[in-house]
Amino acid sequence: MAERHGGAGRHSGAGRSDTAGRSDTAERDGMAERGGFHGLLSKLRWPTDMERNLTIKSFGNRSSVSGNSTNATETRDLFAGIALIPLTLLAIVGSILCLYTIWLARKSRIRSTIDPLFTSMNINILISATLHLIFDVHPAIVGSPNYLMTRTYAPLCAAIAFFTSVNTAVDFFMHSFIALQRFFVVVLPRRFTWFKSRACAVILATTPWLITLAYRIPNLFGVGGDFGYNLSSSRCQFKKITWRAYYNFAKSFPVFFSVAMIIVCYNAIYVKLILSRRRNERVGAGDPAVDAQLRAAARRREAGVTRLVMVLSVDFLVGLLPPVIFPYVGEINASTQLTQDILAALAQASFALNPWIVLFMTPALRSTLQARWQPGKASEASGTSTKSTRPSSRAPVVKITPPLD
């Protein structure tokens, strides 16, 4: 989830070294970095008594810190940490519910080709939000120093920073590959059956992880920068940049690739839907009942796909993109702290809402969830639909293939 820019005015002084300057740059560029698989490390353990006392002492000294700027910054961090709690819980509950619904649909033999992508995205969100709640909300509330900056937890902090960067890129790539899968299903002709298959969707679901790990693993060996505790932001992220060109590439590539992919795929989908509607309107005069049913099915398919891609694209462009773009077009300082906080909140809300968008904007998942929690209404609706659509003995039977979700 989006990291906040805490620490404006914190740890400042005339004697700041070049390393500290690079640390500020890394903290600024890491504005949109969000929590990943925080702490999946064999050395994970609870803080010792000494480290807990250090954290408690830091929390108790908030009121005695001198300087209005520092007090204001720590107050913002405190409220931000508290505000993150409901957002992370919303993401956790939503991802669990979405994964459970996908499992129910599979158990009921109701499968959709896009399910592997949604499964991968929700597993990512579940792990990220859970561990973000443990490792990022706590430092935001208690401030610095805390146990993550101790030498004992240096490997853990480096792992948190690494998976933070991986998770951010995977989330961007996942949106773009969902758009690509929709492009395959809606736009490509019927003869390209493999691109519409479940096997293709599985490949698309794993590709974001493979691409991200391919260019992020070198960071573990010091290529591009060093991971660790950033004093300026009180977060585990890049603490020093050693190769600016590689660092900028790793930060920019998933952003611009995803934006380009989403724009191209969704525009192609919109054009395809418009052309399909016009073609359906020019269908020759056959049986009026058949034409009416075909046009109604086409309209339902168009409306469902259009709503899904529109909400996903708006979620991406409004929630996730601005926090990444702002460091390149705006100044990162105390005067823009409110703007940074608003953009960070947008990204966090977008991250938390992703599972709910997938759940309620996908017809197959929505109907599966309704059948599970409202079986009476689902059966009644099913019976009514069957009764109203049963063809007469004189009317031809029309078989309409349901669209792939």
Q: Is the pLDDT of residue 64 over 60?
A: no
Range in 1-5, 337-341, 354-358 with the lowest mean pLDDT:
1-5
Q: Rounded to whole angstroms, how far apart are CA atoms 325 and 166?
A: 18
Q: Identify the residue with better confidence: 102 or 144.
A: 102
Residue-number span of the structural domain to which 121 is assigned: 18-369
Q: Please report whether residue 165 resides in a domain.
A: yes
Q: What's the pLDDT score for residue 144?
A: 61
Q: Which segment of 1-5, 40-44, 50-54, 163-167 scores lowest on mean pLDDT?
A: 40-44
Q: How many Å apart are CA 233 and CA 229, to the nearest integer?
A: 9
pLDDT of residue 348: 81
pLDDT tier, 36 (very low <50, low <70, confident <90, very high otherwise): very low
Coil, helix or strand for 240?
strand
Residue of 11, 27, 9, 35 lying closest to 239 (CA atoms): 27
For residue range 353-385, list pLDDT tens digits in order. Answer: 888 988 888 777 888 888 877 666 544 444 443
Flag whether 7 is in a domain: no
pTM of the prediction?
0.69
**Burial class for 343, CB neighbours closer than 10 Å (0-12, 13-18, 19+):** buried
* Domain count of the fold of the chain: 1
Q: What CA–CA distance (Å, rounded) separates 154 from 163? A: 14
Could you tell me if residue 342 is inside a domain? yes
**Position with higher pLDDT, 221 vs 48:** 221
Is residue 163 assigned to a domain?
yes
Q: Does the residue 189 lie in any domain?
A: yes
| pLDDT for residue 84 | 79
pLDDT digits (tens, 9 = 90+) for 144-174: 667 788 888 888 888 888 888 888 889 889 9
Q: What are the structure tokens assigned to 366, written together?
A: 């929505």
Confidence (pLDDT) at 207: 95
Alpha helices in 136-197 (DSSP H): 137-142, 154-186
Whether 240 shows a pLDDT value over 70: the answer reads: yes
**Long-range contacts: 100-105, Cβ < 8 Å, 24+?**
101/359, 101/365, 101/368, 101/369, 101/372, 102/365, 104/368, 104/369, 104/372, 105/364, 105/365, 105/368
Residue 95 or 134, more confident: 95
CATH number of the domain to which 159 belongs? 1.20.1070.10
Secondary structure (3-state) at 362: coil
Is residue 238 included in any domain, yes or no?
yes
Q: Is residue 12 part of a domain?
A: no
Which H helix or E strand runs over 227? strand 225-230
DSSP reduced 3-state for 235? strand
| Interatomic CA distance for residues 335 and 162, integer angstroms | 29
Angle, CA of 226, 228 and 231, to the nearest 5°: 115
Average pLDDT of the chain, as a whole number? 71
